[in-house]
Amino acid sequence: MAKTHDELVKRAHELGFAYEKEYRGCSQCTIAAVQDTLDVRNDYIFKAGSGLATGGGLLRVGLCGGYSGGVMMMSSFFGRSRDSIDNDRENKYCSFHMAVALHDLFKDNYGSVICREIHERIFGRSFDLWDDEEREAFEEAGAHRDKCTRVVADASMWTTKLILEEIQKRGLTLDDFAYLKYPT
């Protein structure tokens, strides 16, 4: 039986939380949650998100991995393809609009899309994850109990919702995106 949009969005939230709690790596956990929810597993996209964790390279200075993973997933559905790099303004701008919509959800809920600023908001400070003591303090502060797990859950949920809304708006179904599945 096909799941409703609301059921899929809820599932993405649950998977995002669970994956970040168990596996760590905000960008990849967001990607995996969306892929598994929408049944479009693609290990190449998943792998490409690896270095984006914690603002890129654990440095906290870049985009939140949940946000960047979400943008990667939305763009995999509605971004410009390499074959049409010179004439696909519609999909290029669709991915831009979707990234802005996700950005706005992050801003409304976390005040930023920048990892360090989100950390300051949810922890009251930022942590240097390259320092063992700081990493331990990060975990003790609830990083993978209820803080970063919640951010990834929200990113997964919002990304899935935005993808499903665009699919519906275009009169498509998830079956139209079977090409996103690659052998694992």
Helices (H), the chain: 5-23, 26-38, 43-48, 65-78, 89-110, 115-123, 132-140, 148-169
- Model confidence band, residue 179 (pLDDT cutoffs 50, 70, 90): confident
Express each pLDDT in 102-135 by its tens digit: 999 999 999 999 999 999 999 999 999 999 999 9
Give the pLDDT confidence of 134-164 residue by residue, as tens digits. Answer: 999 999 999 999 999 999 999 999 999 999 9
Look up the domain containing 36 and give its range.
5-180
How many domains is the chain partitioned into structurally? 1
